[in-house]
Structure 1
Amino acid sequence: MTITVYEKPSGCFGCKKTKELFDAAGVQFTAVDITTNDQALAYVTGELGYSQAPVVVYEKDGSEDHWSGLNPTKISQVIAFDTAAITLV
């Protein structure tokens, strides 16, 4: 399972809160700054079609899901998936 949080680290409440929720649950993720990474910005705006940060991309077993903005419901689902995977191992 991989989680990538595409963020605007300065002044983005949703970005900060999303990372805090993953951190508090012990869920590992990669943070990518879209203000300094042109390829990442092109990916989230062009390929995924989002204009609001954060953009979270979650991949598990070859299946991908993604969303934009602070989404506690989706974050909780990913945390539950991650916790279940750790428990099974």
Structure 2
Amino acid sequence: MTQQTTTEALAEDVSQAPAKVRVTVYAKPSGCQPCKATMRKLDKEGIPFNKILVHDEEKTLIDELKREATLLGVTGELPCVVVYDASTEDTHTWFGYQPTEIMKLKERLQP
């Protein structure tokens, strides 16, 4: 998969997600345990998400995720979860398996 393909997939996922809150999970194609656990937990809690596979050759995307991790002061280990709220234009990002963050997100999404 090339960078262009990933970018196209992201654009397609975003355009198909009409909800005011969009969740995107950047994960390894090999299905690392933290990536699998994150997606399982999101599914279990009924939180819809878009999955973007991050291949080793996608250096630009990897560098961007590393910069984001540096800004947050954390290690940039996948998965990377990005929550975008279209109503406020706020973005919340975390790295790794964070069940507490998922539960906070679930509470926030409940009517």
TM range (shorter): 0.7 to 0.9
Question: How many residues get paired?
Answer: 84
Q: Supply the distance in 1 between the matched residues of 2:77 and 2:45 (Cα, whole angstroms).
A: 24
Q: Supply the distance in 2 between the matched residues of 1:22 and 1:36 (Cα, whole angstroms).
A: 25
Give yes or no for contact 2:25–2:81 (8 Å, CA) kept in 1. yes
Among 79, 85, 88, the residue aligned to 1:54: 79
Among 33, 36, 44, the residue aligned to 2:65: 44
TM-score, normalising length: structure 2: 0.66
Percent sequence identity over aligned pairs: 27
Matches within 5 A, 1:1-89: 1-35=21-55, 38=58, 39-49=60-70, 50-60=75-85, 61-82=88-109, 84=110, 87=111
Q: Supply the distance in 2 between the matched residues of 1:20 and 1:69 (Cα, whole angstroms).
A: 13
TM-score, normalising length: structure 1: 0.80
Following TM superposition, where does structure 1 have runs of at least 4 consecutive aligned residues deviating by more than 6 angstroms? none
Asked which structure has the greater CA Rg, the reply is 2
Give yes or no for contact 2:69–2:76 (8 Å, CA) kept in 1. no
Structure 1: which 5+ residue stretches go unaligned?
A: none
Structure 2: which 5+ residue stretches go unaligned?
A: 1-20
